[in-house]
Chain A
């Protein structure tokens, strides 16, 4: 047992921190979030060509770096600290994960190599409109005909759905319900019958789109594993994405604490720093408790994800670790961001100050892929309803 970053992992984290400090400062973030794509093409090129981060956990034989989930979350934590706008999350944490978990050998060979080699972007689209993040939310359908497989429906809340090159789609067999009849399909964004609409979002650092499918034909080679019975695979992809989201949240939770501590040391009222008031100190201590615990939950989940991807851990372990991390980090980030706003007074309420960007990202990531209540109920089912 060794529950700390190795020297190499520390190096990866430190490199990420210094690179992002240079390319993803407040000004860069504000510029990226205001353009239509939601990211800066030239930054994405640097990430894919110079840093090669997008290939972090793509196997070596497919042109990737062949590193693990711990390395991945080390990078994501830094991106969360900097509010980095890029298709990294959608491509790596949704696309690559989906291909690794549910792709056939041929699909991995083709598409992972494309992502690693050409910097193509990808995303996962799976839910209909609503507030659930379970199998019931899947309402796009697929129909098997003698001419092939056709997709119909509208997919919501698709991260970077308006820019991704490659779409991985979850759909259900016409007439199926619940966790039955789910299939996963790979569709190029330009395929006939696919149209996507970018949505204005409250958190401008994470873009979303709605994607409509009108009798979209899927190439037989692009039907992913276990079609008709793919909910367990999709569920594992989502768990990996939840852990990645928790990394962003952990980074953000730490960063708003730092910003707050710096500010309350400087800001004076009643003739002394406001940080000398115990009401402030105790809130700051509570924030630190959450930031540190979020890290612990995150690193543990990352280790479990590594075990799972290496074929050693079970999907139940993955689900448990992901739900623990997502539940805790979601609340920690939102708590810290909320306290940070309060502790900054009026200045924190301005557009000019960066805090609102964190506060909004805390809320959007909290909802994304299930909030804390969702994950607590999921854990409750494991603890209380499991057959003994």
Chain B
């Protein structure tokens, strides 16, 4: 075990830090520290420009392999990249679904043509993506999707019909990846296909849903014979579940370390308030601040273990499997701590009618962290069944 970074890696740290210092300034000054979870609707146009700036500098897809246009950074350098990005106050990336999910999914499962068609556009920040998994009847039980995909021989295209819900940033996206049923007689995880569907077409109707924050990052999306080309299916009809699950695995990658630096920024903000308003002398608040600090440090050590690879006793998989449950719970507690540090001030919003402060958004939005991407209960089921080998939950007979 060795904690220190090599000289090369430290030199790399210099280069990304100075690039950020130079570029994240001027017109981008106001989007520093903005656009994270709960704040994703803010400064969208400016953040899109920032995505182009990053792309010009070659700072998108840093972990993608070189042959797919990425920077092919080592794990260490990816860690450094994400650390420096967050330290500099780099704004929430408008292209994060494409870069973090669609890209790795296509690299793993897509055809050469699909890779050539889509990857460069993601790297350039030109095409944004959203995730069309959940439906009214298929949340935790994702395999219960009803949306249908029918191949139309006349037009040589797939036609998608059904309803998706909770689709984040659909209103800003050019493409959506959709799981839909290719075999109308199938049930459960069989008979599904994985589709790449353009959003700008008459068959797609996007209706914003207002969240408890008052804002609308997510939407209902209605597909009414929405079309995508014959080659916009990833894998074969029937492979949808495999691709969908593979994609979820990418959510636990290196970018988690970048996320942790955002958490660190939030934590620092709360500490600064506590020092200023006297909460820092309240013994219970002190305990909770220290507890949050411990939790965040260990989150990092967990990731470092995951990223450093297996140790031959299966513990790699375990440290990866607890990740979502761990961070979502920690973050939710942080939101609560923020309110309790603020005291009565916690109630006062930024401006009328309902423009919330950053910490109010944190408090409210972290309630979603324990729901999306597999709820905490589903995470516990997965850990118990896959890591500990306990009996599986009852499932429909088709499985």
- Chain A residues engaging chain B, CB cutoff 8 angstroms: 1-6, 9-10, 70, 257, 261, 264-265, 272-273, 275-276, 278, 280-282, 284-286, 288-289, 292-293, 295-297, 299-300, 302-304, 306-307, 324, 327-328, 373, 375-380, 383-385
Q: Say yes or no: A376-B286 contact (C-beta < 8 A), given A2-B1, A4-B305, A384-B271.
A: yes
Q: Say yes or no: A292-B2 contact (C-beta < 8 A), given A1-B79, A297-B298.
A: no
How far is it, in angstroms, between the C-alpha of A273 and the C-alpha of B310 when the chains are bound? Answer: 31
Q: Say yes or no: A281-B2 contact (C-beta < 8 A), given A297-B298, A379-B290, A384-B286.
A: no
Q: Say yes or no: A292-B287 contact (C-beta < 8 A), given A3-B3, A384-B271.
A: no
For B3, list chain A residues within 8 Å (CB).
1, 3, 300, 303-304, 307
When the two chains form their complex, are residues A3 and B377 in contact, meaning their CB atoms are under 8 A apart? no
A4 contact from B76, B271, B290, B311, Cβ within 8 A: B311
When the two chains form their complex, are residues A288 and B383 in contact, meaning their CB atoms are under 8 A apart? yes
B305 contact from A289, A299, A379, Cβ within 8 A: A299
The verdict on B189 contacting chain A, using a C-beta distance below 8 Å, is no
The verdict on B245 contacting chain A, using a C-beta distance below 8 Å, is no
Q: Say yes or no: A3-B308 contact (C-beta < 8 A), given A282-B384, A288-B387.
A: yes
Give a binary string over B302-314; 1 marks a CB under 8 Å from any A CB, 0 the rest: 1011011111100
The verdict on B154 contacting chain A, using a C-beta distance below 8 Å, is no
How far is it, in angstroms, between the C-alpha of A293 and the C-alpha of B330 when the chains are bound? Answer: 13
For B2, list chain A residues within 8 Å (CB).
1-2, 303
Give a binary string over B288-302; 1 marks a CB under 8 Å from any A CB, 0 the rest: 011101100110011
Q: A327-B291, A383-B289, A383-B293 are known; give 18 further A-B pairs, CB within 8 A.
A: A3-B304, A3-B308, A4-B305, A4-B308, A4-B309, A261-B389, A275-B391, A276-B390, A276-B391, A285-B381, A293-B326, A297-B297, A300-B297, A300-B301, A303-B3, A327-B290, A373-B287, A377-B283
When the two chains form their complex, are residues A384 and B301 in contact, meaning their CB atoms are under 8 A apart? no
For B372, list chain A residues within 8 Å (CB).
none
**Which one of B40-48, B96-104, B317-325 contacts A?**
B317-325
When the two chains form their complex, are residues A285 and B294 in contact, meaning their CB atoms are under 8 A apart? no
The verdict on B275 contacting chain A, using a C-beta distance below 8 Å, is yes
Closest CB-CB distance, B78 to chain A, in whole Å?
Answer: 11
Closest CB-CB distance, B258 to chain A, in whole Å?
Answer: 16
Closest CB-CB distance, B49 to chain A, in whole Å?
Answer: 34
The verdict on B180 contacting chain A, using a C-beta distance below 8 Å, is no
B-side interface mostly: helix
For A284, list chain B residues within 8 Å (CB).
383-384, 388, 390
For A295, list chain B residues within 8 Å (CB).
305, 315, 319
For A375, list chain B residues within 8 Å (CB).
290
The verdict on B280 contacting chain A, using a C-beta distance below 8 Å, is yes
Chain B interface size, under 10 / 10 to 19 / 20 to 34 / 35 or more: 35 or more
Name the residue on A nearest B325 (C-beta).
A289
Name the residue on A nearest B312 (C-beta).
A10
When the two chains form their complex, are residues B319 and A296 in contact, meaning their CB atoms are under 8 A apart? yes
How far is it, in angstroms, between the C-alpha of A307 and the C-alpha of B297 when the chains are bound? Answer: 18
The verdict on B379 contacting chain A, using a C-beta distance below 8 Å, is yes
When the two chains form their complex, are residues A383 and B391 in contact, meaning their CB atoms are under 8 A apart? no
For A302, list chain B residues within 8 Å (CB).
1
When the two chains form their complex, are residues B298 and A293 in contact, meaning their CB atoms are under 8 A apart? yes
Q: Say yes or no: A303-B312 contact (C-beta < 8 A), given A285-B379, A296-B319.
A: no
When the two chains form their complex, are residues B381 and A281 in contact, meaning their CB atoms are under 8 A apart? yes
How far is it, in angstroms, between the C-alpha of A70 and the C-alpha of B311 when the chains are bound? Answer: 14
How far is it, in angstroms, between the C-alpha of A67 and the C-alpha of B395 when the chains are bound? Answer: 51
When the two chains form their complex, are residues A265 and B380 in contact, meaning their CB atoms are under 8 A apart? no
For A70, list chain B residues within 8 Å (CB).
1
Closest CB-CB distance, B289 to chain A, in whole Å?
Answer: 6
How far is it, in angstroms, between the C-alpha of A384 and the C-alpha of B289 when the chains are bound? Answer: 9
When the two chains form their complex, are residues A5 and B298 in contact, meaning their CB atoms are under 8 A apart? no
When the two chains form their complex, are residues B385 and A281 in contact, meaning their CB atoms are under 8 A apart? yes
For B308, list chain A residues within 8 Å (CB).
1-4
Closest CB-CB distance, A78 to chain B, in whole Å?
Answer: 12
How far is it, in angstroms, between the C-alpha of A312 and the C-alpha of B393 when the chains are bound? Answer: 51
A275 contact from B294, B307, B390, Cβ within 8 A: B390
The verdict on B196 contacting chain A, using a C-beta distance below 8 Å, is no
When the two chains form their complex, are residues B4 and A282 in contact, meaning their CB atoms are under 8 A apart? no
A285 contact from B298, B312, B388, Cβ within 8 A: B388
When the two chains form their complex, are residues A297 and B1 in contact, meaning their CB atoms are under 8 A apart? no
For B290, list chain A residues within 8 Å (CB).
327, 375-380, 383
Pick from B301, B310, B319 the residue with the most CB of A within 10 Å.
B301
How far is it, in angstroms, between the C-alpha of A289 and the C-alpha of B387 when the chains are bound? Answer: 11
Closest CB-CB distance, A330 to chain B, in whole Å?
Answer: 11
How far is it, in angstroms, between the C-alpha of A275 and the C-alpha of B393 when the chains are bound? Answer: 11
Closest CB-CB distance, A215 to chain B, in whole Å?
Answer: 41
The verdict on B19 contacting chain A, using a C-beta distance below 8 Å, is no
How far is it, in angstroms, between the C-alpha of A295 and the C-alpha of B304 when the chains are bound? Answer: 12
When the two chains form their complex, are residues A327 and B294 in contact, meaning their CB atoms are under 8 A apart? yes
When the two chains form their complex, are residues B1 and A5 in contact, meaning their CB atoms are under 8 A apart? yes
The verdict on B106 contacting chain A, using a C-beta distance below 8 Å, is no
When the two chains form their complex, are residues A299 and B293 in contact, meaning their CB atoms are under 8 A apart? no
Closest CB-CB distance, A366 to chain B, in whole Å?
Answer: 15
